[in-house]
Amino acid sequence: MPDQPKENIFLFVPNLIGYGRIILALVAFYYMPYDPVIGSICYITSGMLDAVDGYAARALNQSSRVGAMLDQLTDRVGTCGLLMVLCMLYPRWAIVFQVSTALDITSHWIHFYSSTSLLKSASHKTVDYGSSILKLYYTSRPLLFFMCMGNETCYTMLYLCYFTPGPFLFPFLEVGLFDLLFFVSLPVAIAKAFCSWLQLKGAMCAIADVDVEERKQLKNN
Q: How far apart are CA 73 and CA 187, in angstroms?
A: 25
Q: Is 61 helix (H, G, I), strand (E, B) or coil?
A: coil
Note whether 137 and 144 are within 8 A (CB). Answer: yes
Q: How far apart are the first and last CA of the chain?
A: 48
Burial of 76: CB neighbours in 10 Å, binned 0-12, 13-18, 19+: middle
Closest among 69, 75, 73 to 48, alpha carbons compared: 75
Q: Is 3 helix (H, G, I), strand (E, B) or coil?
A: coil
96 vs 79, 87, 93, CA distance in Å?
14, 9, 5
Phi/psi of residue 55, nearest 5 degrees: -65, -40
Note whether 31 and 163 are within 8 A (CB). Answer: no
Catalytic residues: 75
Q: How far apart are CA 74 and CA 79, in angstroms?
A: 9
